[in-house]
Chains A and B, each alone.
Chain A
Amino acid sequence: MINSAHAGTLESSDVYIQINPIEEDIVEIELHSSVAELYDDMIEELIRDTLKEMGVTGINVHVQDKGALDFVIKARLQAAVFRACGTVPSWEEQS
């Protein structure tokens, strides 16, 4: 990852995700959710799994969740990562 980037909105049912590169080879997650803390672990796991699939580390992820479904969080995170890398998904590789 080379840049900071963001995706999503603060509207209901959505999530706003800001990502920033960090020097350490880890994934830092700051989660602020408007829904019950009950889902915090699930959201964090989803974010870590998605970043693992994409092979991304050395990243700080700031999440403001407005009650987003899991696929919304995944889509927004992927969009932020692709924006940070200045690339688009390589769909052929996912076949």
Chain B
Amino acid sequence: MMKFRRSMLFVPGANTAMVCNAFVYKPDTVMFDLEDSVALSEKDSARLMVYHALQHFTYKDIETAVRVNPLDSVFGHLDLQAVIRGGADIIRLPKTDTVDDVLDMQSAIEKIEKEIGRTKKTKLLAAIESAEGVVNAVQIARCSDRLMGIALGAEDYVRDLRTQRTKEGTELTAARAQILLAARAAKIQAFDSVFPDVRDKEGFIREVEHVRGLGFDGKSLVNPNQISILHDIYAPSEKEIDWAYEVVEAAAHAEKNGLGVVSLDGKMVDAPIIARAEFTLELAIASGLIGEEDE
């Protein structure tokens, strides 16, 4: 079963209460941040906090990612040393402009993994936050087998475009399309940017419905209250689940009886439709709507 990452909750590494409690909200991935949300004077302390949190039993059953500082900053390598040793599942690269940014990070991670004898490969998530990154998204998405996804970082991106974010998100149209296509071509996941106005629930809902419709696997979040709203929007409807059951059952019946063509209600059911039905059932399980034994 694929790993669903609908909700990737940013947790500022310097915010102790959030670091201690984020797991309670059950995001698909907890994404500790050592970069923009942490003041320069607190980088050292936040790094130690995240290092220990990663090893705490409360984070054993939840996927953890860490957004580290860029490797060309004075903090980047120190962050990496701490969080790879702490056991982070994913490293989120900030400001990924080129393939070399990914390969440099991969090389630094490999060195640390070798030093500590870690056999489980740390995954990479490249955040694309500039026009250059968007233009290079296809090459970036394909450059490393450690990449599990690419993500849009909209705040820096719009600054680079010399525009600003709007509720409509028109300014993100090209970047979203490019990042989604690049991810799909490379068969990795695609994640939308944060919706920063936590008081605007209606705006958040509109944006999640929009990016879900585009095909994004999920979204970075800044507030735990956004998690359940997002999960509800991503959850398949009862009608979709019923349809998926019927397709999967029809396909199984056809296979059992050696039938080459599957038909349901007079319509031909081919491989892409079966795959979509299976995806719907997996998503229904991840959404808690059906049990694994029901699939």
Which A residues are within 8 Å of any B CB, using their own CB? 7-9, 11-14, 68-69, 71-72, 74-76, 78-79, 82-83, 88-89, 91-92, 94-95
Interface contacts (Cβ under 8 Å), in number, total 58
Cβ-defined contact, A76 with B45, below 8 A: yes
Closest B residue to A92 by CB, please name it: B115
Q: Say how far A81's CB is from chain B's closest CB, in angstroms.
A: 10
Q: Say how far B39's CB is from chain A's closest CB, in angstroms.
A: 12
Residues on the A chain within 8 Å of B51, using CB: 75
* Range, interface on chain B: 20 to 34
Q: Say how far B178's CB is from chain A's closest CB, in angstroms.
A: 37
Cβ-defined contact, B16 with A89, below 8 A: no
Complex CA distance for A33 and B151, rounded to whole angstroms:
42
Q: Say how far B41's CB is from chain A's closest CB, in angstroms.
A: 10
Residues on the A chain within 8 Å of B53, using CB: 71
A-B contacts, 10 of them at CB < 8 A, read A7-B45, A8-B16, A9-B16, A11-B16, A11-B17, A69-B56, A71-B52, A72-B19, A89-B48, A89-B78
Closest A residue to B17 by CB, please name it: A13
Q: Which of B19, B20, B48, B56 sits near A78, CB closer than 8 Å?
A: B48
Cβ-defined contact, A14 with B48, below 8 A: no
Decide yes or no whether B250 CB sits under 8 A from chain A.
Answer: no
Cβ-defined contact, A69 with B20, below 8 A: yes
Residues on the B chain within 8 Å of A72, using CB: 16, 19-20, 49, 52
Residues on the A chain within 8 Å of B17, using CB: 11-14
Residues on the A chain within 8 Å of B207, using CB: none
Residues on the A chain within 8 Å of B78, using CB: 88-89, 91
Residues on the B chain within 8 Å of A75, using CB: 45, 48-49, 51-52
The B118-151 residues at the A interface (CB cut-off 8 A) are none
Residues on the A chain within 8 Å of B49, using CB: 71-72, 75-76, 79
Cβ-defined contact, A83 with B44, below 8 A: yes
Decide yes or no whether B228 CB sits under 8 A from chain A.
Answer: no
Residues on the B chain within 8 Å of A71, using CB: 49, 52-53, 55-56
Q: Which of A14, A79, A91, A94 sits near B44, CB closer than 8 Å?
A: A79
